[in-house]
Structure 1
């Protein structure tokens, strides 16, 4: 496809319009990588500098993202992740007509460090059940979540979680049929090497960091958790 010079329309603008049209028509799926600059230059019959200007414009408009050393990708639809009194990953995603899934990273008994012990009202070193997983939306990783439970109150919760594939259903087996969010703290930073790998995210892209405490209907703390969410794929919506 060789571009035709049109009065008042620069070649790089025509390239941007053509790629944007392809994205709207789903020639390029969201989250997928575009052809390389060299391939696009060959397709449009221009030099790579002209292609680069068109791509830069699309990036500025939020239509694509450029990852250093990896290429140019079609920007995904941003997930509105709601934080409220009851925060449930699966429900959050399903309400947006998208497909939630998860992948277990690790599940084991560990001694509570100072932070976990303080949040769960335990002594330091007390046994805690840790369940850590990657949450995915439409098959693409969006978050890493770690759940800490007092092992004395919830013995074998790891096995229950593996059977049910759900924290909510696992807790129900211990008589906790409902739980609410006491508090959530939110910060942001660049990802660690491990977080970058699990989220398939460049080290230069920030993650949203959450720390939360959940309580049962009697007000007793049942879980301390933290999350790491790809900032470019989700926005946190805080609800009363």
Structure 2
């Protein structure tokens, strides 16, 4: 039996009402309460105790995000797009993980810097004040943005890695150019949150969209950390599978 969402909004939370409603509609779709189409706007307005304009704002955001499809004169329907399954395991690779599900996969360098970042340095086993290279990257599959990552590398061991990544679009290829023939996932944590403004823009999501977040450390065959990253995936496009 499908579970019914509460249908309440908190006017004192500081979170826009349309965003709260969009989240609850998304949840109702996930639980199977809404299967093929949404109830009429008037019904939703009564359910959430808001005006129809606020309901329209929530629906518009979910249409832009690709969760819903509005048809003039017929109503609002739920899009049942197949999600990409992205495996998280000992040897996690973007291109290999989506092989067989997409035709073309590539990484794009959005920006980079050499800086001090104590959290990243600690994850990489470096001194707190050690310099690290930060790469801001976007992963695309068949022309669609799939994930947005912030990655850190030892600035001494991997000097110039930004240029090598920009040329290849692959962390694996860039690391191989430094003699790292293979690498393995040492740890991964997974969470979910609302997408930040920059992730909304880069992943082409509507305000209020949810992203799945993986924070992880990769190590070389000798066990030395080579990469510390946080990757954000569009939750309505990708599902993470842990093995």
TM score, norm. by length of structure 2: 0.68
1:198 to 192, 198, 202: 202
CA 1:147–1:105: 2 relative to 1, 3 Å: same
The aligned counterpart of 2:216 is: 212
Instruction: State the shift of 1:82 in Å.
Output: 0.4
Counterparts of residues 23-172 of structure 1 (less than 5 Å): 37=71, 40-41=72-73, 51-52=74-75, 55=76, 58-59=77-78, 64=79, 75-112=80-117, 114-172=118-176
Q: Distance in 2 between matches of 1:149 and 1:116?
A: 8
1:189 to 182, 193, 198: 193
Q: Distance in 1 between matches of 2:206 and 2:172?
A: 32
Q: Secondary structure at the match of 2:199?
A: helix
Is the CA contact (8 Å cut-off) linking 1:209 and 1:226 kept in structure 2?
yes
User: Does 2:222 correspond to 1:222?
Assistant: no
Instruction: State the shift of 1:130 in Å.
Output: 1.4
Structure 1 runs (4+) deviating above 6 angstroms are: none
- Where in structure 2 are there 5+ consecutive unaligned residues? 1-35, 38-65
Q: Distance in 2 between matches of 1:103 and 1:187?
A: 24
Instruction: State the shift of 1:205 in Å.
Output: 1.8
Task: Give the count of matched residue pairs.
Answer: 180
Q: Distance in 1 between matches of 2:103 and 2:241?
A: 17
CA 1:107–1:152: 2 relative to 1, 3 Å: same
Instruction: State the shift of 1:124 in Å.
Output: 2.4
Q: Distance in 1 between matches of 2:119 and 2:201?
A: 25
Is the CA contact (8 Å cut-off) linking 1:142 and 1:199 kept in structure 2?
yes
Instruction: State the shift of 1:137 in Å.
Output: 1.8
- Where in structure 1 are there 5+ consecutive unaligned residues? 1-14, 17-30, 42-50, 65-74
User: Does 2:240 correspond to 1:236?
Assistant: yes
Q: Secondary structure at the match of 1:94?
A: coil
CA 1:218–1:166: 2 relative to 1, 3 Å: same
Instruction: State the shift of 1:33 in Å.
Output: 8.7
TM score, norm. by length of structure 1: 0.69
Q: Distance in 2 between matches of 1:205 and 1:161?
A: 29
User: Who wins on radius of gyration, i.e. which is larger?
Assistant: 1
